[in-house]
Amino acid sequence: MTRRGFCQFVVLASGVPVFPLPARRWGQARETRSSGGEVQIVLFSDAGVRLETVRTRKVVKSDEEWRRQLSPLAFNVARRGQTERPFSGDYWNLHEKGLFRCVCCDTALFSSAAKFDSGTGWPSFWQPIAVENVERHPSRVTIHVESEVTCRLCDAHLGDVFDDGPRPTGLRYCIDSVSLRFVKSV
């Protein structure tokens, strides 16, 4: 069962009224988001030092190009919006200091300084390294569950964000390990 499916089951089982959002097919949403254009992102060194804010063209590739670049699992998660199994990724239990970059385009996404153990089996962060580098989209499941999180530069699916995280933000960015590349601090 996926993370979204599990959350939807819990909400439905609780008896809380659920109002589904209008259905949209993943391929259509992905094409709309990946139409090109420019975005603003913040560049970071591998040491996590903020360098500069830049405007750049979105990274847009064909499925064939993404398949050549990514593992089959990374393609299914990052490009098709699927979810890896909990406790199966490389980073859910990682406690080293460093920076997490997008597996597709290398954009800096999260710092280990904002990582915490949520007990869910996925890497969890209370904030992104720069809000400009990630984008939140309404849930495709229900309005009560979460928002999808994607990389702003390439539209890679990263995971979901929930409002049950620790202070100071109260957010839990629940991210698939396979959507990330970790750069250890030296």
Question: Backbone phi, then psi, for 147, in 5-degree steps?
Answer: -120, 145
Say how many domains are in the chain.
Answer: 1
pTM of the full structure: 0.81
Residues 19-70: tens digit of each pLDDT? 333 333 333 334 435 567 999 999 999 999 999 999 999 999 999 999 999 9
**C-alpha distances out from residue 139 to 36, 124, 159, Å:** 23, 18, 11
For residue 85, what is the DSSP state?
A: P
174 counts as catalytic: yes
92 near 177, Cβ under 8 Å?
yes
Instruction: Look at the block and give the residue holding tokens 């569950």.
Output: 145
Catalytically annotated residue among 7, 105, 151, 174: 174
DSSP state letter for 133: G
Partner residues linked to 138 by β-bridges: 147
Q: Residue 50's beta-bridge partner residues? A: 44
CATH number for the domain spanning 156: value is 2.170.150.20
The model's pLDDT over 119-165, given as tens digits with 9 standing for 90+, comes to 999 999 999 999 999 999 986 655 555 689 999 999 999 999 999 99
The structure tokens listed for 152 are 């702003």
Phi, psi (rounded to 5 degrees) for 166: -80, 170
Which domain covers residue 32, as residue numbers?
A: 3-184
